[in-house]
């Protein structure tokens, strides 16, 4: 992440915003099938990666006195659901990470937003133990819907922050 931040800064200039939108899940999500290795993998991608990316860009944002960290979590960060303990714990951890950063870094002009989408039709759905029915997928959010929510949060003036944005499919 440090190399990525440095290379991005060299090629594109200062990083004004970071959008962390990486996630993973597993079909072995129930506690009966969850192993320490699967737990570690879920937490590594869904939470640790957010921290490492943040750690890479935060010093320059502090120095500039501004920056916006946007994390895409999940409704699993808000309410219990069948996504599994490791996924839910990591996404709730991301929510806690974002709020802690906002609290600690607000005097440095750093803002955070967590976007918590409901069902989105992406490749992560292939990792579910039971695939969503076509009728359900027809009602799901599309990736562009999440992207538009991210852009809306990013366009807020420096004096305002959307701290959490809950994005649900209208028909679910």
Q: Is 111 helix (H, G, I), strand (E, B) or coil?
A: strand
Q: Return the sign of the alpha-carbon dihedral for residues 35, 133, 22, 170.
A: negative
DSSP 48-67: IHHHHHHHHHHHHHHHHT-E
139 included as an active-site residue = no
Q: Strands, DSSP E only, in the chain?
A: 17-20, 67-72, 110-117, 164-167
Cα separation, 161 vs 88, whole angstroms: 25
Of 11, 52, 87, 155, the catalytic one is 87
Is 14:60 a contact under the CB 8 Å cutoff?
Answer: yes
87 included as an active-site residue = yes
Cα separation, 89 vs 34, whole angstroms: 13
Cα separation, 96 vs 49, whole angstroms: 14
Q: Which two tokens stand for residue 90?
A: 């990591």
Of 91, 127, 131, 155, the catalytic one is 91
Active site residues: 87, 91
């Amino acid at each position: 992440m440090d190399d990525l931040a440095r290379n991005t800064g060299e090629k594109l200039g200062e990083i004004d915003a970071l959008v962390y939108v990486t996630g993973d899940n597993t079909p072995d999500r129930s506690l009966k099938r969850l192993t320490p290795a699967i737990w570690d993998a879920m937490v590594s991608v869904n939470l640790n990666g957010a921290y490492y990316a943040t750690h890479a860009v935060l010093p320059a944002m502090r120095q500039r006195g501004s920056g916006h960290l946007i994390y895409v979590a999940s409704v699993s960060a808000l309410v219990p659901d069948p996504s599994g303990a490791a996924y839910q714990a990591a996404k709730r951890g991301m929510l806690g990470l974002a709020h802690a950063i906002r609290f600690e870094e607000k005097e440095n002009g750093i803002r955070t937003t967590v976007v918590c989408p409901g069902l989105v039709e992406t490749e992560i759905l292939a990792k579910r133990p039971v695939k969503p029915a076509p009728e359900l997928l027809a009602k799901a959010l599309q990736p562009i819907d999440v992207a538009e929510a991210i852009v809306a949060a990013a366009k807020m003036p420096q004096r305002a922050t959307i701290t959490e944005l809950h994005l649900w499919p209208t028909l679910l």
